[in-house]
Chains A and B, each alone.
Chain A
Amino acid sequence: GQQVMQIPQYQHVQEGEDFTTYCNSSTTLSNIQWYKQRPGGHPVFLIQLVKSGEVKKQKRLTFQFGEAKKNSSLHITATQTTDVGTYFCAGRNSGGSNYKLTFGKGTLLTVNP
């Protein structure tokens, strides 16, 4: 079945440093979504990427979807303590159903003030 791998599993940074998490799928994706989960909270939708090579920005966050639609990345510039949490990618298999997402295991980001 479809697998979505995410690295790194953990990342600790000093406030102001940059952060990147990578997501790789074993199969071609129709789209990929990113979610953020604060400690003790629930996943919250951040963004969805659909097109090959797509790049989207949300303030200090930059999301990329690979040309082959099998990988994605989330980059945070100049991290802040409010960025703390676990970032999940979730992909939908291009050949599968339209309503099931496969989640990566997430990257836990901690920020030292």
Chain B
Amino acid sequence: NAGVTQTPKFRILKIGQSMTLQCAQDMNHNYMYWYRQDPGMGLKLIYYSVGAGITDKGEVPNGYNVSRSTTEDFPLRLELAAPSQTSVYFCASSYSRLAGGETQYFGPGTRLLVL
């Protein structure tokens, strides 16, 4: 299994541009998540999905959109890039929904720089 894969690894955007960060997992996990990580700030949840066709906002959803048309894929869309969105973005997935039974598997991350 490849686990969780993310593309691209690195991207530079100009202010106002849009882009889609791709995330895919081959572990048949129902739950998928998008986090952003700023230096010294830990991980902030942007959006999450509990299954195909179901998504919900996390802690910091403004400026982002997601879709989940299949179990495997969970792309993150930035419509109008802003410098505040410069960060490292991690996608993660998990299998179990039972309390005490869940582990999140993270992708390698996408480094985004907005200038």
Size class of the B contact interface (CB-based, 8 Å):
20 to 34
* Inter-chain contacts of A88 with B (CB < 8 A): 42-43
- Tell me, in angstroms, the Cα distance from A43 to B37 when the chains sit together: 11
Q: Name B60-115 residues within 8 Å CB distance of A.
A: 90, 92, 94, 97-100, 102-109
Please, which residue of chain B has its CB at the minimum distance from the CB of A94? Answer: B99
With contacts A42-B109, A106-B42 taken as known, whether A50 is within 8 angstroms of B104 at the C-beta atoms is no
Number of inter-chain CB pairs below 8 Å:
59
- Tell me, in angstroms, the Cα distance from A103 to B40 when the chains sit together: 12
How many whole Å from B73's CB to the nearest CB in chain A?
Answer: 18
Check A9–B31 contact: CB distance below 8 A: no
How many whole Å from B105's CB to the nearest CB in chain A?
Answer: 7
Size class of the A contact interface (CB-based, 8 Å):
20 to 34
- Tell me, in angstroms, the Cα distance from A92 to B48 when the chains sit together: 15
Check B42–A104 contact: CB distance below 8 A: yes
Chain A interface (Cβ within 8 Å of chain B)?
Answer: 6, 9, 30-31, 33, 35, 41-45, 48, 50, 88, 90, 92, 94, 98-101, 103-106
